[in-house]
Structure 1
Amino acid sequence: MQTTLDDSWNERRLRRSDVAVLVLTSALLFGYSLFGGRPLTMHEGVLPQSAREMWQEGEWIIPLSGGRPWLERPPLPQWITIGVTSLVGTWDVWSVRIAPVLMGMAVVVMMAHLAAGCFGRSVGLLSGLLLATSFEFTNYAWLAEEDIFLCAVVTGAVSLFAYIEFFQARGEVESDLRFFGSRPWSVWGLFALVGMTNLAKGLVFGMVMALLPIVGFLLLSGDLGRIRRYLWCWGGLLTIAISVAWPIAAWFRHPDVLDLWTFDLFGRLSGNYTAINEPWWYYLEALPVALLPWPLFALLGLGVLSGKGLRERFSPERFFVLWAILPIFVFSLASGKHHHYLVQCLAPWSVLGAIGLKRVGEWIFEAPQWVRSPVAALLALGLPAAIAIGIWGEHLAGPSWLPTALLVGFPVLALCLGWSLRTRDGVLAMTTILTGVIASYMWVYTCELPPRDQCQDDTAFLQQVNDVVPEGTPVLVNADLNSMDAFRIHFYLNHQARCLHNLSFLLDERLEGDDFYLITRRRDAKKLTRIATIETIEESCRSRRESCPSDRLTLFRIHLDRSLPRLPGPTRVSPMQAMGREKGPVLPNPF
């Protein structure tokens, strides 16, 4: 079979130039979030602000929300965020997104190396590029959220297992299979990484995600010798020690955190956590979207590998098929589902996509020359795109010159693709495709996402608050708005924000003074007039998920009624209360 890929592409390791391509591509695409100007999304406020508050308070165990315990998730992402922002020296929107960019790059390079070792250099390089440009992966490498951190740990654990199984010398691994014996560094690392999955996001969740392909492969292999490598006392103790260290420390400080973890974990399984309940087929619909623009290639790759995967028990083909399917199948059994749970599953699908894309490329390179001509590509791709832009171009979000640029750009890319196919130049073909994909992502980030972001007007409001309130004057923030909104408000107001668990705490005897600035909803004005004289200073043009104008964030200047008694406030807020999963505590109601 003739292709333009020389024999070196079949080497089973990446070159330095390949790694450089992956790093530069990932840095360009993921790093665009550092300078694209998009404000923090609603979910993004949690990690940066809880990390900053831990750093400011010198608290390394309990993530904080306005001084309250935020124990939904373990603090590994906060620790990494603190480390990166400390090196940078600033807590800004761009600086808190550096760590997710680095995590995304690490996963891309890791998977490319693994795929190259199993299926050859060309598949390895393609796997990294497809993973980097998969919609769900790109999106979470842009965002300062925990998902990409968990993805890095889970992918690291499963990849290290694959290294042990497929690349490490058998004698080194099997030199001592006793339960209390010794194991090489790679096995120590595997057990450590499995334990670390419990530090990245949600207890048990990440560990199950990592263990499903590992345990599934070992059990289906039916080889007791392979299984005995991992039946190891010291490794098991290491995993347990790492995985339970933080939960135990958090429990000692807040024993009632068990209520929160029980609600979150078992609520997702049983359906009691109704906000994320989805039908069993949810991931069958969500996965193709998460893999865009590569889902058809991934499906083809699944078919290509399944044959050998079914026949050969110990093959990489079987392992990657199991890694792609088992987590999605098992997590489909739970009532609670969300598309961001797929981030941890995309790595094996990128390898399947690379295999499918390479197979399609081989078919096209062997097609008649008229099919591979620049004219055919221009007619098949460039002309329809130009017609679509001519019809709908004026409705595209972005600058006025964008339709013209697209009218020129799409035909040029089509001609380049056609030329690469005619000359059987796989590198030029992939470069052309990736140029179009990455340019599309940048357009989406800059032009399409901002108008859809319901936090835009609230962010502008918070920036106005910083301009209006005199420097050094604290602003009270009613945290009884939405637990995640409070994080964003505190982040943008920086050190000026002070948390009120709810409005009843305005009469807390620990609150000194009578005159304050307060951020809450407009609808709270009537309540406030019962205990204070109020003045409206600023208001958001539109708040996230508002049902009417009274839901809008508003800055009030208030003067508390001196005749009202100040009350002793509660000494603590429980983890369930801090997250809004449980009411209270409330001071004797002044309203």
Structure 2
Amino acid sequence: MIAQIEKHPILSLFVCTILLLGFSLYFLPVSIMEARNFVSAREMLTDNNWLLTTFNGEPRYQKPPLPTWITACFGYLFGYQTVWALRFPAALMVFVSCLGTYFISKDIFQNKNSAFIVALVTLTSLYIVAIIFEAPWDIYAHGFMILAIYGFFKILTIKTFLVKYYLLFAICLTASILSKGPVSIYVLFLPFLISYGIVFGYKLKFKFIVKLIILIAIGFIAGSSWYIYVRYEDAQSFSKIAIEETTRWKNYETKPFLYYWNFFTQSGLWTILALTGLIFPYMKRRVENIKSYKLVLCWTLIAIVFLSLIPTKKTRYVMPVLLPLSLVIGFYMNFQIKNFKNLKSNYHRLPIYVTFSIIASVGLAIPFALYFVAEDYDLKLWILFLVGFAIIYYLSSLIFKFLKHKKLKLSFYAVVALYTSFGILLVPFSKPLIKENFETIQELNNPEFELYYLGYATPEQIFYNGDKIPNILKNIENITKGKKEVFVFTQNSDLNTIEKIKAHFEVSLYKIYDFNSDEINASGYNTRLHQKLYKLSPK
């Protein structure tokens, strides 16, 4: 079976992606970032706002539209309230990102099995998976960019002119800019350019340089076309949003320069191997292609420096660095797989023993932990629990067995299989443990409820409502003229204290909605998701 998996690495990688992420597309609650993006995609379909993108009817030009276009197409096919369909394109972009690291490492290692291992490391890195739920549009920009870098790498290294690599670079560069502006150029492409120059140098002919400049210019112009269009069609809104975004990048969530320098921990289960792979004095005597190792090492570190220079810092912004980091880990894994049996000292095997033992031990412990919170499970979940327990126990045992016999590659595949099984078997168990009060808001989306908000309507509310929720104060005149009963969501405001409202309506508290999705303690309680619903009856 292993031979067949390695014989078809791309198909195997695709299957692993679907197995790892498939159940998550169904069961996890919609996050705030997802809700914003899904609402924009829905309004593309309902309002035909394909270029002048909106959120809740208001201009939303903070992000370019390509991911929203793709999501809207899936929403059109499967329904714009179908969460798994809206998430599926982002999951595909995880696969695309893994393809990028696969192709680059295949050229570096000249071995598709080594490249397959790198791609699996990419797929199973913690924030590669988490990013599609926390900020799903980021994966588009970085996924397209890693493919663009592969095309650029081929252009630099092959002697013959092959138009497919030029097209790949230009198209993916354009797609990356249309996904999140120049972010991925800054954090991935520029560090790669600098690293390649440091390690290999640029000995390019004049005609070749001209071709590259033209190619990059085409990508920039095509990628910037949407910004130019919006700037022309809605200059006032565009300028206002641009100023707000610029201010946020300077002043919002500012962190110290060294904030990202634990970046290797974001690879999750590969943390120890990533840290070991980054130690140049140790690795330089153990890699077969020292220049290529220097390239990916410099690429990773320069990307972190570039990120650190930006005042605004969030943990999720470090995600693109995990792409070159997976190649660093690949160099270490490649050394270990080739030499694991013959290493003279267990000191050199220690990072492998610790990493693989931890993941296997977690696998053995998780089913027992789930048992104690399983009182709400129905018969189907209990059956899945027992099957999952058996599979996870078996895979954990295989990891220890293969380590004992020093069969590292088989142990690595067992680790990946165990990690993948968590996505298949464990995510459904979270369903009974989550309060899904957002679903109840759908009862308000009917002709009997004319719904408005005052102050702040959460993106999750707007998504689950299935339609826009207008601002009550902006529509008060039309409402009073119509003499109709309406309902208003608000977070902190007392509607009886607002002159415009109490002059025309009898105000009564109709219901309180708590949209916090988890049973969490008071210190972690999100007041943003605690909303009052008032009924306004004409006097």
TM range (shorter): 0.7 to 0.9
Q: CA RMSD in A?
A: 4.1
Amino acid in the other structure paired with 1:20 = L
- The residue correspondences of 1:144-293 to structure 2 (distance < 5 A) are 145-166=136-157, 168=158, 170-172=159-161, 184-201=163-180, 203-220=181-198, 221-225=200-204, 229-232=208-211, 234-256=214-236, 257-265=238-246, 267-268=248-249, 271-272=250-251, 274=252, 276-285=253-262, 287-293=263-269
- The residue correspondences of 1:290-309 to structure 2 (distance < 5 A) are 290-303=266-279, 307=284
Contact 1:75 1:200 in 2 (8 A): yes
Indicate the SS of the match to 2:332: helix
Deviations 1:91-113 (A, max 9, x none): 31111111111111122123223
> What residue in structure 1 maps to residue 325 of structure 2?
349
- The residue correspondences of 1:335-414 to structure 2 (distance < 5 A) are 335-366=311-342, 412-414=394-396
Amino acid in the other structure paired with 1:41 = S
Match of 2:402 among 417, 420, 438: 420
> What residue in structure 2 maps to residue 84 of structure 1?
74
- The residue correspondences of 1:438-587 to structure 2 (distance < 5 A) are 438-441=420-423, 445-446=427-428, 459-460=436-437, 462-467=438-443, 469=444, 471-478=446-453, 480-481=455-456, 485=458, 487-495=459-467, 497-500=468-471, 503=473, 505-508=475-478, 512-521=482-491, 523-526=493-496, 527=498, 528-541=501-514, 543=516, 552-561=530-539
Distance apart, 1:425 and its partner CA: 4.0
Deviations 1:471-514 (A, max 9, x none): 334532316315xx1x322221114x4322x5353235798442
Distance apart, 1:226 and its partner CA: 6.6
Indicate the SS of the match to 2:452: strand
Contact 1:137 1:343 in 2 (8 A): yes
Amino acid in the other structure paired with 1:247 = Y
2-structure distance, mates of 1:394, 1:15:
36
1-structure distance, mates of 2:295, 2:214:
26
Cα 1:237/1:393, change in 2 over 3 Å: closer
Q: Which moved more, 1:405-414 or 1:355-364?
A: 405-414
Contact 1:31 1:142 in 2 (8 A): no
- The residue correspondences of 1:323-338 to structure 2 (distance < 5 A) are 323-338=299-314
Match of 2:296 among 316, 320, 325: 320
Distance apart, 1:329 and its partner CA: 0.8
> What residue in structure 2 maps to residue 25 of structure 1?
16
2-structure distance, mates of 1:546, 1:417:
37
TM-score relative to the length of structure 2:
0.82
Contact 2:455 2:491 in 1 (8 A): no
Cα 1:463/1:310, change in 2 over 3 Å: closer
Counting aligned pairs with the same residue, the percent is: 16
Distance apart, 1:153 and its partner CA: 1.6
Contact 1:515 1:558 in 2 (8 A): yes
Cα 1:187/1:217, change in 2 over 3 Å: farther
Contact 2:122 2:128 in 1 (8 A): yes
Deviations 1:453-477 (A, max 9, x none): xxx65x51x432333x473345323
Cα 1:322/1:390, change in 2 over 3 Å: closer
Give the number of equivalent residue pairs. 515
1-structure distance, mates of 2:294, 2:205:
15
TM-score relative to the length of structure 1:
0.75
Amino acid in the other structure paired with 2:161 = E
Indicate the SS of the match to 1:499: coil
Cα 1:512/1:218, change in 2 over 3 Å: farther
2-structure distance, mates of 1:243, 1:370:
51
Distance apart, 1:557 and its partner CA: 2.3
Cα 1:510/1:107, change in 2 over 3 Å: farther
Amino acid in the other structure paired with 1:151 = H
Distance apart, 1:398 and its partner CA: 8.3
Amino acid in the other structure paired with 2:41 = A
Contact 2:96 2:144 in 1 (8 A): no
2-structure distance, mates of 1:240, 1:384:
48
> What residue in structure 1 maps to residue 520 of structure 2?
none
Distance apart, 1:548 and its partner CA: 9.3
Contact 2:509 2:533 in 1 (8 A): yes
Cα 1:289/1:405, change in 2 over 3 Å: farther
Amino acid in the other structure paired with 1:154 = M
Amino acid in the other structure paired with 1:291 = S
Contact 1:51 1:79 in 2 (8 A): yes
1-structure distance, mates of 2:97, 2:155:
18
Contact 2:364 2:392 in 1 (8 A): no
Indicate the SS of the match to 1:148: helix
Indicate the SS of the match to 1:292: helix
Distance apart, 1:66 and its partner CA: 1.9
Indicate the SS of the match to 1:102: helix
Distance apart, 1:187 and its partner CA: 2.5
1-structure distance, mates of 2:24, 2:412:
24
Q: Return 5+ residue gaps in structure 2 as ranges.
A: 518-522
Indicate the SS of the match to 2:537: strand
Contact 2:20 2:422 in 1 (8 A): no
Question: Are residue 94 (structure 1) and residue 84 (structure 2) matched?
Answer: yes
Cα 1:74/1:398, change in 2 over 3 Å: farther
Contact 2:264 2:274 in 1 (8 A): no
Cα 1:328/1:513, change in 2 over 3 Å: farther
Contact 1:161 1:214 in 2 (8 A): no
Distance apart, 1:26 and its partner CA: 0.6
Cα 1:521/1:90, change in 2 over 3 Å: closer
Cα 1:186/1:98, change in 2 over 3 Å: same
The structure carrying a bigger helix percent of its residues is 2
2-structure distance, mates of 1:205, 1:185:
25
Question: Are residue 135 (structure 1) and residue 112 (structure 2) matched?
Answer: no
Indicate the SS of the match to 1:278: coil
2-structure distance, mates of 1:44, 1:350:
26
Amino acid in the other structure paired with 1:476 = L
Amino acid in the other structure paired with 2:256 = P
2-structure distance, mates of 1:481, 1:449:
28
Distance apart, 1:172 and its partner CA: 2.2
